[in-house]
Structure 1
């Protein structure tokens, strides 16, 4: 499964004094004598096309096909990364035969779409990072950018998950399409419990019965509702419970079992809008789809300012 995770980009000044009216967060194009957009652009361009090794975590990475749009202050492309250090076999799932023996010095490389929007005049930007089957590159990418940024500016670069606190208000009335149970540990009476919501599929995805519904998204966060009670029952038996909601033809995934104000957004790639080629999202359609996502988040972060991507 492919998904996009949004993050906020900020610069924290540990030396600022709020008592003197000094802002704790700097405007992104006025970090002392530095500009976050130009600083990261120069850093990425200096990386070149060759893979680099991070021995501490046994990872390899490179930036690939990065494009810079100075007028829009956007940078877009691919961050390719993988792990090495384990010897194992790569098999053909149709025949069961070993096609390739992966050595300790081999690394499987995954291409991750990355997109940064670092506007003038604001103290917060947005990053969209591509995940595959729950795996992403946020930690590695953040560590690389933070080390360079902190060294140059002497301030702290922050890349935090973009909470869905404001956006959740928009999605409260959305219809819940399915419930996903991650690392579910079964119990004898699970069938009886799940029939209160719908039927259970092999992938441990709960969907509504024919002509039925799972309720509105807000019902899963409201104590006293039937939906909330079912979540309370399931929570000890799952590593994670997620609800997929749909609103105006768009889908969003929310982790339920935590307060709505603590929600972190994960957007599953919509295969009706993004072309998939050999299991990977096709770049042009993915970029177009992510443009609409970025515009959505920019609207939440800069309300009333009509910022256009």
Structure 2
């Protein structure tokens, strides 16, 4: 349901000339006369606490409860966003009765945790953005920050998904705990039963037997010729997507099988053993604490050997 998507933060200089020894990407605290950390902070503060409308996409948003940590150059808080423009009903799933008639000018607002880390002396920072059921706020948030950034600096702000090319090396020796088959098409009798329950999307989860394990190591699911890889080859035509949940030192990560390991996009599902849930939403303090360990993990992989700590 809830997950954290990590992105890199970089500043591209379209006017740089590599022939003259000029770097394509600027050091984040030296973008000309500007510091990216200060630019982000000033922009967020200027937004205030009121909701703002983006008419082009029929969205509303606001920054809420954002805290700034100048010493570690982090900022954390909430980015609340939603869509308007469609009239529909909100029902009680237990009774089927309409609880609320959502008008065309109403918007359902979802809170997304956001966290930025913009270090001194590096040309790459990190953003952690919360998603819910695969729906995130990266496009809207990036558009807002990029427009202001370009206006002030005349440079281009980039926020690209952090791949697991480096971090995967840490996880390839982990044990696979679950295999998730999304939109599973095999075994018609099973999917028929699921459909009767009203699910829009069927998902079959394969777990190891008690005290057992799924295969040997996570890397075996990506290695042609292995028994695990052959199983994946058999299952792939039967579903839209195959994911493996791996566990290492008590931490869990989800990987999409079928995509080369070096192209893995990190999808970090919330670990409900560490993050408390209240009415379906992560409790802020435990979420922040959990994301601190995630951020440190990415810092270690992006700036190896430099012992950067937050």
Partner of 1:196: none
Residues 136-158 of structure 1: per-residue CA shift (max 9 Å, x gap): 10111111111111121111111
Partner of 1:95: 95
Gaps of at least 5 residues in structure 2 are 192-201
1:221 aligns with 2:247: no
Partner of 1:279: 280
Q: Is the 8 A contact 2:183 2:203 kept in 1?
A: no
Partner of 2:194: none
Whole-Å separation in 2 of the counterparts to 1:88 and 1:46: 34
CA shift, 1:203, in A, is 3.8
How many residues are paired up?
299
Partner of 2:259: 258
Residues 196-229 of structure 1: per-residue CA shift (max 9 Å, x gap): xxxxxx7411112334321211011000112112
Partner of 2:38: 38
> Structure 2 matches for 1:48-127, cutoff 5 A?
48-127=48-127
Partner of 1:152: helix, strand, or coil?
Answer: helix
Partner of 2:198: none
Partner of 1:11: 11
Partner of 1:24: helix, strand, or coil?
Answer: coil
Whole-Å separation in 2 of the counterparts to 1:182 and 1:21: 48
Partner of 1:218: helix, strand, or coil?
Answer: helix
Whole-Å separation in 2 of the counterparts to 1:226 and 1:56: 50
Partner of 1:208: 208
Q: Is the 8 A contact 2:9 2:126 kept in 1?
A: yes
Partner of 2:172: 172
Whole-Å separation in 1 of the counterparts to 2:2 and 2:151: 34
Partner of 2:89: helix, strand, or coil?
Answer: strand
Partner of 2:230: helix, strand, or coil?
Answer: helix
Gaps of at least 5 residues in structure 1 are 192-201
Q: Is the 8 A contact 2:50 2:62 kept in 1?
A: yes
Deviates more, 1:223-232 or 1:247-256: 223-232
Partner of 1:195: none
CA shift, 1:120, in A, is 0.7
Whole-Å separation in 2 of the counterparts to 1:188 and 1:42: 56
Whole-Å separation in 2 of the counterparts to 1:248 and 1:306: 20
CA shift, 1:186, in A, is 2.9
CA shift, 1:190, in A, is 9.9
Whole-Å separation in 2 of the counterparts to 1:55 and 1:239: 34
Deviates more, 1:120-129 or 1:211-220: 211-220
Whole-Å separation in 2 of the counterparts to 1:222 and 1:253: 17
Q: Is the 8 A contact 2:182 2:203 kept in 1?
A: no
Partner of 2:2: 2
TM-score of the superposed pair, with normalisation by structure 2: 0.93
Whole-Å separation in 2 of the counterparts to 1:65 and 1:20: 44
TM-score of the superposed pair, with normalisation by structure 1: 0.93
CA shift, 1:233, in A, is 2.6
Deviates more, 1:202-211 or 1:113-122: 202-211
Q: Is the 8 A contact 2:10 2:123 kept in 1?
A: yes
Residues 266-299 of structure 1: per-residue CA shift (max 9 Å, x gap): 1111111111111111111110111111111101
CA shift, 1:19, in A, is 1.4
Whole-Å separation in 1 of the counterparts to 2:240 and 2:84: 27
Aligned Cα root-mean-square deviation (Å): 1.6
